[in-house]
Amino acid sequence: MSSESNEYHVDVLNDENNAVELLASATGFSKQKIKQCMQKGAVWLTDKKGTHRLRRKSKKLNAGTTLHLYYDPLVLDNTVDDAILISDEGDYSVWYKPRGMLSQGSKWGDHCAINRWVEQHLEPQRPAFIVHRLDRFASGLILIAHKKKTATLLANLFQQKKIIKQYKVIVSGEFPSDTMTMTNEIDNTPAVSHASLIHYDKSKNKSLVKVDIETGRKHQIRLHLSGAGYPVVGDRLYGNKDDGIDLQLTAFKLTFSGPIDGVEKTYQLDKNLQPDIKNLPD
């Protein structure tokens, strides 16, 4: 959150259908700004069904409900590159998530989240349900379900370790030629990663490494490689904070049996979307 962030909670006292005017009056913001906040997922409504995002300015409001505006200009002004559709399988789709795009929005907004982006751009339009996540600053393949049943089936495949995710990562230093298995716990929870060298660039002293994970802990690959002495290039949290390069960590391949037809599926990014040492500055 930025220093300018603020929360506004407005009780609806009478039945009416103008959330924009109510919020504009309570916040002092223009009606246009309120509409933009709605479109970007920062406005919520609490009613008998619970608390959910409110995007329709003409939604009828009942007395006894409450409007919420979570205003953070840094979140609302943020922009990201477009996601790229890799394959539309009907009940689910496979996408390339660019660096900086969120796997899921927050109460402050969701316009930079992959599921919202998919809902707005996939044709024909369908709901988009998150099945798994990628770090915000990582890029790569991500599955989006379009039915709750499909989301459950795919999530079960992840839990049963029947979806194989493979990553390509550029690290600092000369990575060993033998496969390295890293088992350091993360937040007191078992975590296992296997990393193998693809290519070492002596002139840049950087290695392209393929990583397979048996578990999916937060920042697992970044923590394991940094702990082994080979921080991911561009990792400002666990590596070199001053290299000025984007995080070089990409989920480049997914393999699993389709949740509907049982047919084995393999999705792989084109080379131009995968990390390449040659593209890094000297």
- The residues annotated as belonging to the active site are 135
Residue 10 CB coordination number (10 Å): 17
CA 182 → CA 149, 175, 193, 196, 241, distances in Å? 35, 13, 5, 11, 23
Question: Is the Cβ–Cβ distance between 34 and 27 less than 8 Å?
Answer: yes
Best CA proximity match to 229, nearest among 166, 175, 186: 175
Q: Name the helix (H) or strand (E) containing 76.
A: helix 73-76
Q: Phi/psi class of residue 106: alpha, beta or left (left: φ > 0; alpha: ψ in -120 to 50)?
A: beta
3-state secondary structure of 176: coil
Question: Is the Cβ–Cβ distance between 86 and 141 less than 8 Å?
Answer: yes
Q: Give the amino acid at 234.
A: G
As a whole number of angstroms, the distance between CA 256 and CA 122 comes to 23
By CB neighbour count within 10 A (0-12 exposed, 13-18 middle, 19+ buried), where does 55 fall? middle
Best CA proximity match to 249, nearest among 165, 174, 177: 165
**What pairing do the DSSP bridges indicate for beta strands 206-213 and 84-88?**
unpaired
